[in-house]
Homo-oligomer: A and B are copies of this chain.
Amino acid sequence: MNLNTTIAGINLQTPLVMASGTFGFGEDFARFDDFDDSAVGAISLKGTTLEPRLGNPPPRIAETPAGVLNAIGLQNPGVDAVVRHVLPRLEAGGLTTPLFANIAGETVEEYAEVARRFSTAPNIAALEVNISCPNVRHGGLAFGADPAEAARVVRAVRQATDLPVITKLSPNTGRLVEVAEACVDAGSDALSLINTLVGMVIDLRSRRPLLGNQTGGLSGPAIRPVAVAQVFRVYAALGHRLPIIGMGGVSDADGAFEIILAGGAAVGVGTALFFNHRAPREIADGLERHLADAGLSRLSDAVGAAHRQSRIGGGGP
């Protein structure tokens, strides 16, 4: 069975994208004696900014019912360290999996500059513009919640690079589809969604927010229904114009297939890697079975199929 998929002209051997922030800069999971690269379609690197970022005070992670709350705060060594040290190391290691640079900034100009510097690296396949990080004071969500602001960022990045541009969207807005449309009009070649939902855990012993940053971003199976709904909506509006990388709570082939049927041409896998580094292989195998069961010979036939199979007259009275 063929799990090939194409995102903005980039060929992925499977639709599985290791979600930004959960797979570091692509090297850490290689320590597992049984990590299976062949199940990985692409790697989205940790969110990277112009200058090195310290990140948020710990604790940075908490478990919630079927979910995980994190507030890393975009800790990263800065674009120059990544371009000069990390990317050459990956190239020297012979990694051929397409890499997406996930870029963030506090200003439009910063996004553009990070984009420009990543564009000089030989082994970056695309830029993923993160306008959806809920864990930073400036930038991030401030851009992702407003169509005009989002468009400004995407336009600036578009002008700064020849690489394909993927825009990563936030569910923490009632205007996700509008934001998506604005990003597409501004030149985005693909969309990825969803980033995490704003959440909080209060520590009952200290009676204060558990995370150092107070709020964090909710990911994991708990948010999968939200992800499926948003992918479905964005696909309905924009699926004919560009591909969607759908993500949020995918931990098995069932969840991945839901995302694909809703409209994901590719599927991000994040939090699941924390408890099952074999998830990519298991999901890839399961997807092949799902396609076979559905009598489909190609993954692309399944993308968005839930729209075509919809009940006639579905929708409230």
- From A63-71, A111-119, A158-166, A274-282, the one touching the partner chain is A63-71
Q: Would A218 and B226 count as touching, CB distance under 8 A?
A: yes
Output the least CB separation between A47 and chain B (Å). Answer: 13
A186 within 8 A of B: no
Output the least CB separation between A249 and chain B (Å). Answer: 7
Q: Would B221 and A199 count as touching, CB distance under 8 A?
A: no
Residue from A64, A202, A249 with most neighbouring chain B CB atoms (10 Å)? A202
Q: Which of these, B218, B221, B257, B315, contacts A213 with CB under 8 Å?
A: B315
Provide the bound-state CA to CA distance between A14 and B309, in Å: 48
Given known contacts A66-B65, A204-B257, A309-B206, is B229 in contact with A198 (CB within 8 Å)?
Answer: yes
Provide the bound-state CA to CA distance between A181 and B136, in Å: 24
Output the least CB separation between A105 and chain B (Å). Answer: 15
Provide the bound-state CA to CA distance between A187 and B302, in Å: 50
Q: Would B228 and A199 count as touching, CB distance under 8 A?
A: yes
Q: What chain B residues lie within 8 Å of A305 (beta carbons)?
A: 207
Output the least CB separation between A173 and chain B (Å). Answer: 4
A298 within 8 A of B: no
Q: Which of these, B65, B201, B309, contacts A207 with CB under 8 Å?
A: B309
Q: Would A137 and B315 count as touching, CB distance under 8 A?
A: yes
Q: Would B262 and A221 count as touching, CB distance under 8 A?
A: no
Q: What chain B residues lie within 8 Å of A241 (beta carbons)?
A: none
Cross-chain pairs A/B with CB under 8 angstroms, 15 sampled: A65-B221, A65-B249, A66-B67, A66-B221, A137-B317, A174-B174, A199-B228, A200-B229, A201-B225, A202-B228, A207-B309, A209-B314, A214-B315, A215-B229, A215-B232
